[in-house]
Amino acid sequence: MELLPPRGEGRRGGGGESSTVGVLAMNSGDAGELSYANNSDMQRTIAAVTRKARQEMAATLHRARCPASAMAIADLGCATGPNALLMAGDAVQAVLADADRLQAPPPEFHVFLNDLPMNDFNSVFRELDQQRRQLLRPDRCRSLVSAWPGSFYGRIFPAGSLDYVVSSSSLHFLSRPPTTGTVNEGRMYVSARGPAAVLEAYRAQFQADFRLFLACRAEEVRHGGVLLLTFVARQAAEPSPHDCHIWDLLAAAVAGMAAEGLVDARKLDSFNVPFYGPCPEELTEAIREEDSFEVRRMELFEVSRRQGEPAADREELAAQTASTIRAVLEPMLGKHFAVDMDGLFGRFSLLLEEYYNHSGMLDQLTNVFLALERK
């Protein structure tokens, strides 16, 4: 999962005050139980939902390219841990199965893993041998794996070098927090009851970022290549309370600490999380305006850790959700708020549990699956 590439200091709302968001990375493997690798089960669940569709696209692309000596696969925002080779492995297995059906030799696979330079690539390559055997099938084909650090809101790969590009659970993170032009008092994101100007600022930032992302990929993906994207979204143009509940509750946890003098309340008003879950109309608009890709598939789906388990333990579920958010955002939140993280996420977990108990909702997240083909 890619998180907030730095672009220097930015104007940050808060009545025009400027502040700097600490840009580090997810918790690395050195964080033990708090590491991203140990708290990425939700991301794996999301990837599982789209696996069949991604593999169908990989097989279709192979048939269109066959016979091809090589296929270049890129994972943008690969992160660390057990998910780092998952997307590429799914594609390799699908292409191998298709090659068997065609009675054709499989191509050589060039697997490019991308994330920010601060990503713990060392841990990815330490685990590579074990994951390669399980996912990349060295008994059947040759797969060459390399790391390409850099922000996907810019060029990463050589022109016309890629066939199959995936990104899962990354593009909901913006390149920078939006410039809201107004005080987002007591909040750190858009809210169902928040200022309209804040929502418009987030929309504008997402549109600019997503068009830039597509333009960069248009340079790198060969004609007929595919771009398969999965990230947090929302059903309607106006955000619902559930669309915003994680950020509302995290802000409430910070506000509670501020009320006790444990953190400066002004820090909350000057912080807007660099995250946005778009609606389908916003995606369609950006794709049409950039005009390098055809939409082959756009589907919204709901996902939960406890899919089909109505009697889920709310306390445990709240703790798991809090741990996932902490693994992703702790470096940035710690730098901005300078507050005890155990205390903050302990409060956050209690607020999540209360929300689950009283709202009738659990940890459901709306995601979008986008399949785009290079014109």
> How many whole angstroms separate alpha carbon 38 and alpha carbon 16?
38
Contact 82, 44 (CB under 8 A): yes
Contact 10, 174 (CB under 8 A): no
Distances (CA, A) of 8 to 22, 177, 198, 206, 338: 10, 11, 21, 18, 20
Q: What is the pLDDT of residue 193?
A: 84
> How many whole angstroms separate alpha carbon 147 and alpha carbon 158?
14
112-160 tens-digit pLDDT = 999 999 888 988 888 887 777 777 888 888 999 999 999 999 999 999 9
What the block records as the tokens of 64 is 């269109």
Residue with tokens 């790198």: 220
What the block records as the tokens of 312 is 């889920």
CA atoms within a 13 Å half-sphere pointing along the CA-CB vector of 336 = 26
Contact 154, 216 (CB under 8 A): yes
**Amino acid making up residue 69:** S
What the block records as the tokens of 155 is 């060029």
Q: What is the pLDDT of residue 16?
A: 34
Tell me the whole-structure pTM to 2 decimals. Answer: 0.90
Sketch out the chain's domains with CATH numbers.
10-374 (3.40.50.150)
> How many whole angstroms separate alpha carbon 274 and alpha carbon 78?
19
Q: Which residues of the chain have pLDDT under 50?
A: 1-24
Three-class SS of residue 108?
A: strand
Q: What is the pLDDT of residue 13?
A: 31
Within the chain, residue ranges assigned H as helices are: 41-65, 86-102, 121-126, 128-131, 196-220, 241-259, 265-269, 280-290, 314-337, 341-359
Residue with tokens 């009851």: 193
